[in-house]
A = this chain, B = another copy of it.
Amino acid sequence: MREEYQADLVEVGRLLVTMAESVRATLRKATTALLTADLKAAEAVIERDAEVDAIYEQVELKVADIIARQAPVASDLRRVITTLHISADLERMGDLAEHVAKTAKRRHPSPAVPAELRPTFKEMADVADLMAEKIIKLLGAPNVALAAELEKDDDAIDDAERHLFKIMLADDWPYGAETAIDGALLGRFYERYADHAVNIGEQVIYLVTGESPAGAN
């Protein structure tokens, strides 16, 4: 029984890693679509979101199966419920990557983001990618110090988002309301992606230390 239970957890862990890898690849491609007005990349992302959703369902079914067959308690149960939270966050990160791609597609062949904003989006995307990489590592080997780094990465994303707004709200912003709206919504997609990554970090810390996260955001 105990052995079977461990094997079940390993299987769920593998599903989460696959999901995280897919989510990471998806945002990378969505960023390419955004910054280079690449329609094919945008469409590939939009198609691929179903993959992440399918793994999400697999995790849910597997977790229900584990609870039903193994009746875990205490820290085992905590671990199983944590996987549900993590998969929900990953699923949402996939959606947000899809939103980025959809914006790129909607504005194609024009670029959705004017040249002045591109370096800032590149920076947000790079940090978000680093966060996804850390999550993949954390899912393989929980590590409180690495999980805590995600908070600092998130601060960098928030700073970049503020910089974005500073550019768009300057008196000499030449692009009008539509481009400002797209810029603000896109900024929010990356910012939310990072928030979910922080949530996952908190779940990992909870898993390792038993310390509850300070509250979802």
- Identify the A interface with B (CB < 8 A): 50, 53, 56-57, 60, 63-64, 67-68, 71-74, 77-78, 81, 84-85, 88, 91-92, 95, 165, 168-169, 173, 176-178, 180-181, 183-185, 188, 212, 215-217
Contacts and interface: CB of A to CB of B under 8 A. Distances in A.
The list of the 6 closest CB pairs from A to B, nearest first, reads A177-B180, A71-B71, A181-B184, A68-B73, A53-B215, A169-B178
Given A184-B184, A188-B188, 8 more contacts: A63-B81, A64-B77, A67-B72, A84-B84, A85-B88, A95-B216, A176-B177, A180-B181
Nearest to A81: B64
A5 B93 CA distance: 35
A102 to B, nearest CB: 12
A53 B85 CA distance: 15
A97 to B, nearest CB: 14
Given A68-B77, A74-B68, A185-B185, A91 B180 contact: no
Contact of A212 (B57, B85, B169): B57
Nearest to A78: B64
A217 B99 CA distance: 11
Contacts of A188: 185, 188
A159 B78 CA distance: 41
